Structure 1
Amino acid sequence: MPRRHVVASAVFLLAFIAALPGPGTLRAENFDLTLLPPILAGPPLSRDSDGDGLPDLWELRGYTVNGTYVNLPAMGASPWHKDVFVWMDYMVTPGSVDLGPSQTVIDNIKAVFNNAPVTNPDGTTGIHIHPVLKNQVPYDETLGVSSNYTQVWIDFDTLKNNSFNAAYAPSFRYMIWANTYNQGTSSGLARGIPGTDFLVTLGGWQTPGGTDWQKLGTFIHELGHCLGLTHGGTDHVNYKPNYLSVMNYSFQTWGLYRNGHWGDEGYPLNFDYQRINTPSLDKASLQEGLGLTGADDVSAYGTVYYYVSGGYYYNTYTTNAAAGIDWNKNNIIDPSPVSADINWSGSATGTLTAQNNWPNINYSADGQLGPASGQARRKAALVPMPEELRHELDFETQQRLDTARTPAAPATP
């Protein structure tokens, strides 16, 4: 056989073997050694063609930890398209209320991520998220006790360790659809920014366990923290009118106002992270005639903002962020700059900046997923959680936010 044919055949064979699913991996921490010679082991463990934090080798062939084979390709992984895996456990109340997601919620989560404006080596856009509903865990009325943030995660870990197969930790985030935490009505909690663990806790809301829309928005919000996103985009400042993201409490349970509809009017794709650039807003010098223009096109969007009247804060909204916005709510579009506390911070000064979220997703959670995940998670455990994230959007605040779509009522000054 001519030499060139031998070489071509060998290259084809190597490519074929590398693409075969199977338990072969390279060693990283406690990963089992491949049984194949190194030349047949496929791409190096460091190669991650789509940048999703999971090595190509794992997405082609899976990996093995302590004898457990995690078959990522059988679960839909591809080295040429970004994947996010989430192991979801859930509780059922003594009254038989299933706190977990309906299939509609799961399908809508997938749709939001499939619609993400991110590119992939396969030439398509979007992220393949795999929210895998797994085990019912024992019901707990509340995780932790009032104001004890540490105890929440101690209780969480007890449930996690009894349900979650640790072999999946290098590739999966883990969450629980639980009842409450800290004996309150907070909607959820993430363990870090970025991180790998989070909760959705809507058991104390008017609809126990939350409506499908509240579940959708809260799941995406808390997962967003694990993906490195914050309440303010560039910081933890909340309620920014120029931050058009489900990470903003103003949009967590409604979704964005986009193309004439709120998300919870039947438009799940509006439960979105910010996908455009918006201008900074100087609260001491707001140009009402500009609205949110000055960066990308915002004509498809509305937004929510605050104003003060009679010593009380009110929240309201506009359906056209590209038109003039009456920031100080004096019923005219002022030609001169005005000052207003448009994000309910207690001050009419300061500059509000936002973030185009999708390009800033942290897929590996700073290495907490991937070959060196164990070491990265141990390091992350030493970082204290920001105070702003220890108590998330609660039912009482959500009820107040709802006044923006009904006759206005005052918020607490």
Structure 2
Amino acid sequence: MSRRHAVVPLWFLFALALLVSAPGTVRADDFDISLLPPILAGPPLSRDSDGDGLPDLWELRGYTVGGAYVNLPALGASPWHKDVFVWMDYMVTPGSVNLGPSQTVIDNIKAVFNNAPVTNPDGTTGIHIHPVLKNQVPYAETLGIKNDYVQVWVDFDALKNNSFETAYAPSFRYMIWANTYNQGTSSGLARGIPATDFLVTLGGWQTVGGTDWQKQGTFIHELGHCLGLTHGGSDHINYKPNYLSVMNYSFQTWGLYRNGHWGDDGYPLNFDYQRLNTPSLDKASLQEGLGLTGADDVSAYGTVYYYVSGDYYYNQIATNAAGGIDWNHNGVIDTSPVSADINRSGGTTGTLTAQNNWPNINYSANGQIGPTAGEARRKATSQEMPEELRHELDFETQRQMDTARPSAQP
């Protein structure tokens, strides 16, 4: 009996070789992946195995826009491990102060995200963040004018459009290490929540451009807004003692107090988003003996809370969040409920809720990263910037916090 042999078409063999070849062998002029038939293009654009907003196809083969090839695999992308890409431009002052980050800052940012408690299809935890330092942009004393946030982004876009390669827009967030904006000393600014554009602006701080710790904390804070995180976790209320996150102004430039150390004592991993659940706090009925117990284990953490004395708020540090906390600052741990304005909001009523940040990261920025980036970004940037982002931590407030920063007490 004769045996028939299946004939394998040459186009199939070519497609198979293309899919299994090393990503770095593909050149920009080889093909436009978005135009290839499915057998050549690999998995559909809808497949995103690691959930980072970037299609598997892009992370395996790269992609092209207008003939320009973006080789994401060569930049470290993997379809089985979450990736976040950030294009970083920077200014240099007339006095030759480089406002950009040192390699130490970049390495510390990478370490924080690599230490994130998020799972991946490759069986490991963490996020691979790729903060790519790119171009020096023309120095501007300030972006925008006082209280005009529209002009801030007009000036920002003028710099961005002359530096940022548009082919990178579907996969990269964009930021500038700038001097100031709105003629003030605000530490930074994000374009929205979520968003893809942000600023770090520490030019008006005591150390021009900020210390390495201030740069690290502010970058992670503003990027956090772009990733969908807010000042209060569940809302925009700031200074919550139960919100153990660099998104909280109390921890933005110091880092968290964890395992007996502040982040700026030399512990870069303490510049962290909240990674556990904490109990809600009823400001009108605070149980001092409970501290922050009642949800996940917080025994490794301390926290910062506020009390009023005369006409001023003072910050106080409790080094053991799992122990008793003297919320009303009367020198004893009361056994009956007390009321106190522990987050300097102007009142002693209201319930403060927090958020476990890492499970709530918005990787695609509501579609501004990925195949729908163009239309999603046009829609997002046409909207007015949220009011909650218009009063970011400034130097004057940080100086008051530093001046009142007590030595850690139990």
Sort the TM-score into its range (normalised by shorter chain).
Answer: over 0.9
Runs of 5+ unmatched residues, structure 2? none
- How far off is 1:270 after superposition? 0.1
- Alignment of 1:233 onto 2:233: yes
Q: Is the 8 A contact 1:24 1:36 kept in 2?
A: no
Aligned equivalent of 2:115: 115
Match of 1:308 in 2: 308
DSSP-derived class of the 2:200 partner: strand
Return the offset for 1:379: 1.5
Distance 1:6 1:182, change over 3 A: same
In structure 2, C-alpha distance between the alignment counterparts of 1:316 and 1:218, rounded to whole Å: 22
1:53 equivalent to 2:53? Answer yes
Taking the aligned partners of 1:2 and 1:133, their CA distance within structure 2 comes to 61
Deviation of 1:38 after TM superposition, in Å, equals 2.7
TM-score (ref. length: structure 1): 0.93
- Cα pair distance change 1:125/1:4, threshold 3 Å: farther
User: What residue in structure 2 maps to residue 91 of structure 1?
Assistant: 91
Q: How far did 1:5 drift?
A: 9.2
Spell out, residue by residue over 1:354-395, the C-alpha distance to the aligned partner (whole angstroms, 9 max, x if none).
000000000000000100100101111233222121121000
- Report the 3-state secondary structure (helix = DSSP H, G, I; strand = E; otherwise coil) of the residue aligned with 2:185: coil
Q: Which residue of 2 aligns with 1:194?
A: 194
* Counterpart position of 2:164: 164
Corresponding residue for 1:177?
A: 177
Deviation at 1:36, TM superposition (A): 4.5
Find the aligned partners of 2:17 and 2:215 in 1 and give their Cα distance: 43
**Amino acid corresponding to residue 191 of structure 1 in structure 2:** R
Rounded to whole Å, the distance in 2 between the matches of 1:278 and 1:173 is 30
**Preserved contact between residue 23 and residue 64 of structure 1 (Cα < 8 Å):** no
String of CA shifts for 1:136-183, please: whole Å, max 9, x gaps: 000000000011110000000000000000100000000000000000
Q: After the TM superposition, which parts of structure 1 deviate over 6 Å for at least 4 consecutive aligned residues?
A: 1-7, 9-13
SS at match of 2:162: helix
State whether residues 24 and 35 of structure 1, in contact with CA within 8 Å, keep that contact through their aligned partners in structure 2: no
Quick check: 2:58–2:72 contact (8 Å CA) kept in 1? yes
Give the structure 2 partner of residue 213 of structure 1: 213
Distance 1:10 1:4 in 2: 18
2:377 matched to which residue of 1? Answer: 377
Deviation at residue 242 of structure 1 after TM alignment = 0.1
Using the TM superposition, give the Cα deviation of residue 18 of structure 1 relative to its aligned residue in structure 2, in angstroms: 2.4
The residue type equivalent to 1:17 in the other structure is: L
Does 2:29 correspond to 1:17?
no
Q: What's the CA shift string for 1:293-324, capped at 9, x where partnerless?
A: 00000000000000112342211111000000
1:3, CA displacement in angstroms? 8.4
Q: Residues 6 and 56 from structure 1, CA distance in 2 versus in 1: closer, same or farther, beyond 3 angstroms?
A: farther
The answer to whether the aligner puts 1:42 opposite 2:16 as a matched pair is no
Matched with 2:391 is: 391
Aligned to 2:224: 224
| 1:135-174 equivalence runs, <5 A | 135-174=135-174
- In 1, distance between residues paired with 2:13 and 2:324? 62
SS in 1 for 2:245: coil
What's 2:79 paired with? Answer: 79
AA matched with 1:106:
I
1:265 alignment counterpart:
265
| Worse overlay, 386-395 or 104-113 | 386-395
Give the direction of change, closer, same or farther, for the CA distance of 1:3–1:44 in structure 2 (3 Å limit): farther
Deviation, 1:34, is 4.8
Q: Deviations over 1:4-37 (max 9, x none)?
A: 9989x99998665324423699xxxxx9455644
Count of matched residue positions in the alignment of Structure 1 and Structure 2: 402
Q: Which moved more, 1:305-314 or 1:317-326?
A: 305-314
Matched to 2:19, the amino acid is A
Match of 2:363 in 1: 363
- Match of 1:28? none
Structure 1: where are the runs of 5+ without partners? 26-30, 409-413
When the two chains are superposed, the root-mean-square deviation of aligned CA atoms in Å is: 2.3
Distance in 2, matches of 1:5 and 1:122, equals: 36
| Aligned-pair CA distance for 1:196 | 0.2
Q: Distance in 2 between matches of 1:4 and 1:297?
A: 65
- Alignment CA distance shift 1:307-1:35 (3 Å): closer
Change (3 A) 1:380 1:19: farther
- Provide the residue aligned with 1:339 in structure 2: 339
Distance change (3 Å), C-alpha of 1:284 and 1:139: same
Q: Distance in 1 between matches of 2:47 and 2:263?
A: 38
Partners of 1:62 and 1:70 within 8 A in 2: yes
Residues 33-62 of structure 1 show CA distances to partners (whole Å, capped at 9, x for unaligned) of 556443121111110000000000000000
Give 1:380's aligned amino acid. Answer: A
Offset, 1:94: 0.3
**Distance (Å, rounded) in 2 between the aligned partners of 1:241 and 1:2:** 77
Q: Contact 2:317–2:406 (CA<8 Å) still a contact in 1?
A: no
* C-alpha deviation, 1:405, in angstroms: 2.6
